[in-house]
Amino acid sequence: MNSLLGPNIGRGDTVFISTYGCQMNEHDTERMYSLLENHNFIQASHAEDADVIIINSCSVREKPVHKVMSEIGTYRPLKQKKPKLKIGVAGCVGQQEGKQLLKKNPLIDFVLGTGAIDILPDILHQVRDERKRSAWTQIDHRGPYSINTLIRNPRVSSFVNITLGCDNFCSFCIVPFTRGREKSRPFSELLGDVRQLVGRGVKEVTLLGQNVNSYKSPDGSGGFPDLLRAVCAETDIQRVRYTTSHPKDFNNEVLNVMIKYQNKLGDFLHLPAQSGSSKILESMNRGYTREEYLEKVQAVKAANGEMALSTDIIVGFPGETEEDFDQTLSLLAEIKYENVYAFKYSPRPFTKALKLSDPVPEEVKDRRLQKLIEFQDSLAPEICAKYEGRVLDVLVEGPSRTNSKVLTGRTTHNKVVNFLGASDLVGKILPLKIKHAAPFALKGEVIA
């Protein structure tokens, strides 16, 4: 994919991208590197060695925004040493703040909104060669969403974006404002992408979208259940995952596909509840009650008793009383999630929740978050104990991050398993005996 300016915009210069936030951002970073390498830029291993630094930012909560700003500050000495160094802010903070960032911080040379990734090489040409200092934050809300997945050296497991943006407007969430209106990629393009990744050795794809369940092919080929079915039935991919599923749109049709293609889709579902209180769910504009959520989870568990669930939870949303919070704890006790990703509510610009009265004091949010983490920790040993002693199929992903002699992989339940094994096992699906189960990782053993 060369820009109009030809393939040598980079002239061998180096780029370092620092990534915050979700899997979508990680995947976007890989796309940026791929596009840039096609234009003769080279990835730098450290910011200190780079001619261009890009911060691919996240603005879903306030903390990551502060982190982005303080990271930029750390580059001041570098910029003084290397006046030609260019620093850009990409991702959701870039989209949200736009030109303001350039005004606020002279260290920043360019701002790249979430819709401008594919013109990054041209932007760098303008920034470096034409000395333009600008923000590219236009979002095309209507045009088609058609791309090729760009991954330089695909690993065992790869991401594939199926939708862009979000139309749900949960009252706490900035994403509909930073990623724009929801668009879906064409069905055939996605199947082509998955087949191409399979041809390059990929064994597992994770289909990505803010709400994958509202995927709808623009060519009328179908919705999310059809896509899942086709990816499982019409490609040779061995495992398929997807995230994020919105509980309001998770239905029996998706569940039926999950059951029919369990051999590929496994036994795992991330279904963010956000709260266990129907009152809070309503003011979050989530579109379901506690009871409706529980019904869906019960249907999932009844259809597949192996199913491992995970969730996102927000504590301290405006108006959340101790009673509402207790209902969240009781939801955790009832469902017994394998993983809970818990956050303190963080007021975000543009969102409806900003106008809600009755904010929860910071110290109460802190206390509730701590209590929720401790509560989940108290449930976790029993939840994971069921894996001990079993033989589970593990897709081997590669050496573990902490010990190169140890391999790591994941079960069909998305549980991480660490074990001793030879590197030629990477990419294989292997039965492993689980010797020890801890909440975040299992210890396995190759069966002789």
Chain positions contacting ligand SF4, by CB under 6 A: 166, 168-170, 173, 175-176, 210-211, 246
Binding of residue 332 to ligand 5AD (CB under 6 A):
no
Q: Which of 20, 75, 337, 345 binds ligand 5AD (CB under 6 A)?
A: 345
CA distance 206 to 158: 6
DSSP secondary structure string for all residues of 87-119? EEEEHHHHHHHTHHHHHH-TT--EEE-TT-GGG
What are the beta bridge partners of residue 334? none
List the single partner that 348 binds among ligand 5AD, ligand SF4, none, CB under 5 to 8 Å by kind: ligand 5AD
By CB under 6 A, tell whether 346 contacts ligand 5AD: yes
270 is a site residue for ligand 5AD (CB under 6 A) = no
Tell me the closest approach of the beta carbon of residue 145 to ligand 5AD, in angstroms: 21
- 19 or 274, CB closer to ligand 5AD? 274
Nearer Cβ to ligand SF4 (275/418): 275
Judge whether 120 and 9 are in contact, CB under 8 Å.
Answer: no
Alpha-carbon distance of 164 to 170, in angstroms, equals 16
Residues binding ligand 5AD: number (CB under 6 A):
12
Binding pattern to ligand 5AD, positions 282-301, x when CB under 6 A?
Answer: --------------------
312 part of the interface to ligand 5AD, by CB under 6 A: yes
Edge-first strand order for the sheet with 204-208 is: 157-161, 204-208, 239-243
- 372: partner contacted, choices ligand 5AD, ligand SF4, none (Cβ within 5-8 A by kind): none
Considering Cα of 273, then 92, then 20, then 360, what sign does the dihedral take? negative
- Least distance to ligand 5AD, CB of residue 331, Å: 14
The pairing of strands 429-437 and 391-399 is antiparallel
Q: Is 61 in the site for ligand 5AD (CB under 6 A)?
A: yes
Report, in Å, the least distance between residue 306 CB and ligand 5AD. 24
Q: How many residues does the chain have?
A: 448
Q: Does 92 bind ligand 5AD (CB under 6 A)?
A: no
Q: Does 343 bind ligand 5AD (CB under 6 A)?
A: yes
Neighbours of 214 (CB within 10 A): 18
Q: Which residue is nearest to ligand 5AD (CB)?
A: 312
Report in angstroms the alpha-carbon separations of 363 from 13, 367, 369, 370: 48, 6, 10, 11
State how beta strands 42-43 and 52-57 pair. Answer: unpaired
- Helix and strand numbers (H, E) in the chain are 15, 19
239 phi/psi in degrees, rounded to 5: -135, 145
Contact between 177 and ligand 5AD by CB under 6 A: the answer reads no
Q: Which of 33, 159, 172, 187 binds ligand 5AD (CB under 6 A)?
A: 172
Q: How many CB atoms lie within 10 A of CB 323?
A: 9
Among 348, 365, 413, 415, binds ligand 5AD (CB under 6 A): 348
Per rule CB under 6 A, is residue 60 in the interface with ligand 5AD?
A: yes
- What residue ranges bind ligand 5AD (CB under 6 A)? 60-61, 172-173, 272, 274, 312, 314, 343, 345-346, 348
